[in-house]
Amino acid sequence: MLKNKNITLYVTGSIAAYKALTLTRLLVKAQANVRVVMTEAAQKFVTPLSFQTLTKNRVLTDSFESVNPAVVDHVELARWSDLAIIAPASADFIGKMAQGLADDMACLTLLATNAPKFIAPAMNDQMWLSPAVQRNVHILQNDEVHFIDPDTGFLAEGYEGKGRMAEPAEIVNSLIAFSNLSKELVGKKVVVTAGGTQERIDPVRFIGNDSSGKMGYAVARAFLARGAEVTLISGPTKLTPPNNVKFISIESAAELQDQVIKNFATSDILVMAAAVADFKPVKQSKQKIKKDPTNDRWTLELTKNPDILQAVAKIKRLNQVTVGFAAETTDLINHATKKLCEKSLDLVVANDVSQPGVGFNVDTNQVTFISSDKTVESTELLTKSEIAELLVDKVIKKTAKSNSI
């Protein structure tokens, strides 16, 4: 699937730069057209001549050195590229990309590149897990940059940890998998909900939950990658909406229901990944509720929120596909199956949020897919982006089946 693809490889300053030579060889062997850009730091580890020998193309290293005055090198290469892969990607370079800097040939070219971008990080485990690096990773993910996560293994520092650049063969397989992604959802309208809802008690207090919105945002990105037209309805989060979605911000469950009903009416697919509060205060105070010095107790009366998926089930057309999420702590399969049946869902994604690394406020998840035909399939602990891709695959099958009825 990489035959005749124009692939630009960006090599940055890391001891793993030697692996980029093997990666180049594998890409050439896969019959891709490969050109290489190297940072100044990368040249301390390997030479441009090595990549030039493998690719039979000039290696770009200096934004002020141009062989052909008739073209602007970084713009020409950006327009030429079908795919861009940064491997290895240092913490420094990831930070530069996240901030849109353009102080060398590699940064300049990537900033002008509209082709899909892949990053294979390589660094010390403490650097990889640092808040600053993870913040930059999230910025780039929201810009629809794809990450090929580092492996856990023996690091240059002499101990085991997560930070090793993914093996070249794994990187090539990721590029092939991306190239194989179907565009079967072109023309399909998808509504995705994300984040948690907040039910106001007074102007400064609310009832909410721990949802970060990461799963729903990953699902929105995955549908975009398959060519769908995506509407993302989100509760309050710290995330930046993906580019090219129709973004609708909500706060309460009632607001979410209004927007879901409105947008689902003209859509083909609904994925309810939002964590909706089950209850809301009966009364909302317009002023901050003050403490009563004569009473140490305070009773808050609650009432049920609207059941959004139940409302959707009443208006769902035969060829529409609906997906629900079930975050549970006990009896996962039974609770999720009950939700599947009661809400007339085509698919439910269940997870046990009491397990480490699963559910709210983490980048990983482990789920069980339960289909309307009662098929049950559990995953390993994966990134939320990987879970989202699996979900989209299943929705594509559901969509094809509903359209054949």
For the annotated binding site, the residues are 278, 288, 306-309, 325, 339, 343
CB 88 within 8 A of CB 11: yes
CA distance 327 to 246: 26
Please report, in range form, the residues annotated as the binding site for CTP: 278, 288, 306-309, 325, 339, 343
Interatomic CA distance for residues 311 and 327, integer angstroms: 20
- Terminal Cα distance for the chain, rounded: 33
- The catalytic residue positions are 209
Contacts of 388 (CB under 8 A, 6+ apart): 215, 218, 219, 221, 222
87 phi, psi to nearest 5 deg: -155, 115
Which residue bears the tokens 């030479």?
47
Q: Compute the half-sphere exposure of residue 291: CA atoms within 13 Å on the CB side of its CA.
A: 3
Torsion of CA 376, 382, 387, 389, to 10 degrees: -120
Peptide bond into 121 cis (omega under 30): no
CB 172 within 8 A of CB 118: no
